[in-house]
């Protein structure tokens, strides 16, 4: 029963990882990346998930983000099947079996956290769902850091957070994913044997990027690697530079300005409708900020105003066209500066060698028919 892996980094899973994975593990990893659900033997599952994580490390930040979504889908599907096998929704369901399944999560009944039935019903009347489980507050923090939960919406009793089943599953998933992302970053660049899988994750990450700017008069497939990596979401050490400095300037100039725009230009020189900014440019930047780990605005809400400042509208929460020019419209930092300030973003491809600025990379590819910049 339950012959599936919920956490590839659990002690149970780590004991099964092979030093030399069998060929079927590579095939299974490709199937999982492609979103095709099927059952494999537990040993093949473990090896496949570790191959995906190693491939993501090789693929870089956009590959890590793509792998994170692959793993999220896999874990959620595995949880659904596990709950079904445990009898969820039927009288045979035993919560203690669920607690044993979620290794390292230490899930207990809400009553065992010292909360009476009357209080649980009162909480349920407020939230619409009576919490049945509890878990130590430390194990909920990954879901909070990753923007999946807000502390203000949770009930804390004696060091435990009270959770519905859905909330418990979400907390568990984010706990696993946070550790998997750390593992992928620690294994970056390792394993030439997973290059094919890394290529699949890179392409998946590029599709995510394309979806982020769909209909925005931009061609995301022509973006330089540093911008693609930023759109896919970056870690805490890169967030401010990647989003506020690099992406804000790149997306705005790529969307609005002609190739010969001067460095003292204003957005108002090129558009006469602020909706180009509020409905086309800012949503792309905000979506990338949300993909960061943790989401940029979650702990730094003032960065929204800072982004408007970099667009030239001054330090304001609501950009207006008449305010264009109150601050400089920051130009895209050149490649040398990106390498110096955020080296993890700089994953050069062959076309990068022909240009000195990410915007030049995009314009040269776009106006030469989308081919090599040479």
Q: What is the pLDDT of residues 263-320, one digit of tens each?
A: 678 898 888 889 899 988 999 999 899 888 888 998 899 999 999 999 999 999 899 9
The CATH number for 16's domain is 1.20.930
| Residue at a domain's end among 149, 168, 186 | 186
Domain encompassing residue 315? 213-366
Residues 235 and 175 in one domain: no
Residues 176 and 68 in one domain: yes
- Ramachandran sector of residue 24 (left: φ over 0; alpha: ψ -120 to 50; beta: rest): alpha
Using a pLDDT cut of 70, give the percent of the chain over it: 90
Both tokens assigned to 40: 């494999």
pLDDT category, 214, cuts 50, 70, 90? Answer: low
Interstrand relation of 133-136 and 155-157 (parallel, antiparallel or unpaired): unpaired
In a domain, 272, yes or no: yes
Residues ≥6 apart with Cβ < 8 Å to 48:
21, 25, 26, 28, 29, 32, 40
| Residue at a domain's end among 133, 151, 186 | 186
Q: Are 50 and 193 in contact (CB under 8 A)?
A: no
Prediction pTM value: 0.65
Average pLDDT over the chain reads 85
Question: Among the ranges 127-131, 270-274, 369-373, which has the highest mean pLDDT value?
Answer: 270-274
């Amino acid at each position: 029963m339950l012959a599936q892996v919920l956490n590839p980094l659990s002690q149970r899973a780590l004991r099964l990882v092979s030093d030399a994975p069998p060929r079927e593990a590579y095939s299974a990893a490709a199937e999982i990346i492609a979103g095709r659900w099927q059952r494999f033997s537990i040993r093949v599952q473990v090896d496949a998930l570790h191959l995906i994580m190693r491939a993501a490390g090789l693929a870089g930040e956009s590959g890590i983000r793509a792998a994170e979504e692959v793993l999220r889908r896999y874990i959620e599907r595995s949880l659904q099947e596990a709950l079904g096998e445990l009898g969820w929704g039927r009288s045979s369901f035993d919560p203690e079996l669920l607690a044993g399944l979620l290794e390292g999560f230490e899930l207990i009944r809400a009553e065992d956290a010292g909360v009476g039935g009357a209080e649980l019903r009162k909480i349920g009347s407020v939230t619409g769902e009576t919490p049945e489980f509890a878990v130590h507050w430390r194990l909920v923090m990954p879901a909070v850091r990753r923007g999946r939960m807000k502390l203000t919406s949770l009930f804390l009793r004696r060091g435990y957070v009270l959770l519905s089943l859905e909330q418990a599953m979400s907390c568990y998933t984010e706990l696993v994913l946070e550790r998997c992302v750390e593992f992928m970053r620690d294994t970056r660049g390792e394993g030439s044997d997973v290059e094919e899988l890394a290529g699949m994750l890179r392409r998946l990450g590029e599709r995510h990027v394309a979806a982020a700017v769909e209909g925005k008069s931009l061609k995301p497939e022509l973006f330089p690697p540093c911008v693609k990596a930023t759109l896919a979401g970056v870690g805490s050490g890169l967030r401010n530079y990647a989003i506020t400095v690099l992406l804000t300037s790149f997306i705005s100039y790529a969307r609005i300005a002609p190739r010969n725009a001067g460095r003292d230009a204003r957005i108002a020189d090129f558009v006469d409708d602020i909706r180009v900014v509020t409905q086309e440019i800012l949503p792309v930047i905000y979506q990338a900020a949300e993909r960061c780990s943790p989401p940029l605005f979650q702990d730094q809400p003032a960065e929204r105003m800072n982004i408007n400042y970099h667009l030239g509208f001054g330090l304001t929460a609501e950009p207006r066209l008449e305010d264009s020019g109150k601050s400089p419209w920051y130009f895209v930092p050149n490649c040398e500066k990106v390498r110096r300030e955020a080296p993890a973003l700089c994953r050069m491809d062959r076309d990068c060698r022909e240009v000195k600025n990410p915007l030049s990379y995009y314009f040269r590819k776009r106006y030469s028919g989308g081919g090599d910049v040479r």
